[in-house]
Chain A
Amino acid sequence: MSRSKARKAWQGRSLRQQLEARGVYIRSRSDKGLAEEAGGAYKQIDDVVEATRLAGISKPVVRLRPIGNVKG
């Protein structure tokens, strides 16, 4: 999905509420900008990591979880 589609598909404001409900601290210049980076705009990270592992081009070592998000 392209960034512009992501922008349409996810309302920045509800995204902010979702993230804050999960304890993620957010600083963003606009809700629209925040919406560009909506998790749903990306592929499932587990699928991507598993594919790189199976292909032998990476080795998972640690899982990071966001606690803060700063976005232009």
Chain B
Amino acid sequence: MAISEHLQRISDTLRELPPRYKDGMRVPARIYATDKLLAGMDETVLQQISNVAGLPGLTEAALCMPDGHFGYGFPIGGVAAMDVDQGGVISPGGIGFDINCGMRLVRTNLTHDEVRPYLHRPADRLFERVPAGVGGTGLIKMSRREFADVCERGAHWCVEQGLGWEEDLLVTEEGGKPSSAPPTAAAGR
């Protein structure tokens, strides 16, 4: 029986794979999708999100967003909240191993017509400065000790090095310095 046949319809946009679907699931797996999107979703996505539902400390359910697609362990678009007091874990697989791979939205008062003639300038600069792709490396080389310092002080370190402005800290989550994240808590590798 195909995994999709185990899905229960909660609403027009929500399906649920109950924990009894397979051994190891601790909570339900819930998939947000319309019929159309669900039809285009690979069975491997459903398998992956049901695997996520077996992680310890998960609260309520493992969720898959409507754009869910096959990932590394977690599906891309998978969401899981862990409760540390319930044995929750940090799962690097949950973010596809590219920590801080994210979205940035920068607003400008410039119009499209104003930007258009000069668009190549910021694009070329980003291309030069931002390491990207397999084998890409950064501009900064540092020792292990310096690295621990960066982990400890986050974006403040960057500002001190002239790599950012004070104002940047104001618009960064937790002021660019996550509390209660001592680097010594992590393994050496």
Contact = CB atoms under 8 A, between A and B. Distances in A.
Interface of B: 11-14, 32-34, 36-37, 40, 65-67, 69-70, 112, 115-116, 119-120, 122-124, 126-127, 130-134, 136
7 contacts: A25-B123, A29-B133, A43-B67, A48-B67, A51-B32, A55-B66, A70-B123
Contacts, number: 65
Interface of A: 1-2, 25, 27, 29-30, 33, 42-43, 47-48, 50-52, 54-55, 57, 67-68, 70-72
Given A29-B133, A68-B119, A54 B34 contact: yes
Contacts of B124: 27
B130 A51 contact: no
A47 B120 contact: no
> Looking at chain A's contact residues, is the secondary structure mostly helix, strand, loop, or mixed?
mixed
> Looking at chain B's contact residues, is the secondary structure mostly helix, strand, loop, or mixed?
mixed
B121 to A, nearest CB: 10
A21 B66 CA distance: 30
A46 to B, nearest CB: 11
Contacts of A43: 37, 40, 66-67, 69
Nearest to A36: B133
B123 A27 contact: yes
A67 B118 CA distance: 12
A51 B33 CA distance: 6
